[in-house]
Amino acid sequence: MGAATAINHEDIDVIGGYYYPGGHYGGTSGYYYWENYCPLCHHYNCLGNYVKGVNEISCYRCSADYDGCTGLDKAGGGARAELIRYQEPTPEPTPTPPPTTEIQPAKTQIDIYKELVQTKNIEIGII
């Protein structure tokens, strides 16, 4: 039996865990996460894992049972509702600011002359 969790992702309460396919609707084994909202009784935070049976999610308020792999209601006459699959929000990409180029002040003739003197080791003597 897999581990089941009930976690809160910001403002959305989530229920889920590792489920095996049930005889009702099939599906594939794996981790599934659903919004903790019952579409039949329209209440939030009322779902629980394995309340009545293995691999199912049940509502504490209206006793609806949902398949853990598909999220479909396990009513005898066919699914009456489907859980809302939780999709983790993708973060908005942060825009990269354009590169800043520093504008160098224009060199004066004296600055150019000083650089020339330093690089060439020119000694200037005043006569």
45-102 residue pLDDT tens: 999 987 776 788 999 999 999 988 899 998 877 789 999 999 877 778 888 877 777 7
Residue 20 lies in a domain: yes
Q: Strand order of the sheet with strand 56-59?
A: 47-49, 56-59, 65-67
Residue 21 lies in a domain: yes
Domain that holds residue 56: 4-67
CA pair distance 37, 72, nearest whole angstrom:
13
Residue 13 lies in a domain: yes
Residue 124 lies in a domain: no
Burial 69-85 (b: 16+ CB within 10 A, else e): bbbbbbeeeeeebebee
The domain total for the chain is 1
pTM of the model: 0.61
Residue 88 lies in a domain: no
